[in-house]
């Protein structure tokens, strides 16, 4: 009976460790990031977007907002960067990022 308990304890520890590793890998930002496919990834606008929008967080998918909403969001993110002492975009960079976001934004459906 003691031998059986030892085997069960080892098995339970193994299963517990496996579950922890599985949960950690599922939550890894690297593994989740690989699943996301952004539109127009070869463009210079996309490169500017990822460079500018990854200093504090993972860049958002452009289609989470409609085009007209992106301007206010970009302005707000500029303010956050400035408050944190990070380098903000110049006008040309801001326009390039905004153009990328608006071109790939969620379509505004009027009902």
- The pLDDT of residue 5: 74
**Structural domain boundaries in the chain:** 1-35, 38-111
pLDDT in tens, 87-106: 999 999 999 999 999 999 99
Banded pLDDT at 29 (limits 50, 70, 90): very low
pLDDT in tens, 13-25: 655 545 454 454 4
Encode 58-101 in three state secondary structure: CCCCHHHCEHHHHHHHHHHHHHHHHHCCCCCCCHHHHHHHHHHH
């Amino acid at each position: 009976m003691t031998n059986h308990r030892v085997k069960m304890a080892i098995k339970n520890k193994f299963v517990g460790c496996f579950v922890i590793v599985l949960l950690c890998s599922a939550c890894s930002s690297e593994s989740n990031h690989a699943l996301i496919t952004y539109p127009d990834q070869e463009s210079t606008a996309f490169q500017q977007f990822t460079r500018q929008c990854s200093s504090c967080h993972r860049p958002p998918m452009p289609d989470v907002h409609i085009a007209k909403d992106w301007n206010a969001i970009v302005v707000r993110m500029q303010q956050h960067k400035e408050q944190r002492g990070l380098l903000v975009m110049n006008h040309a960079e801001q326009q390039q990022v905004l153009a990328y976001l608006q071109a790939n934004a969620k379509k505004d459906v009027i009902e």
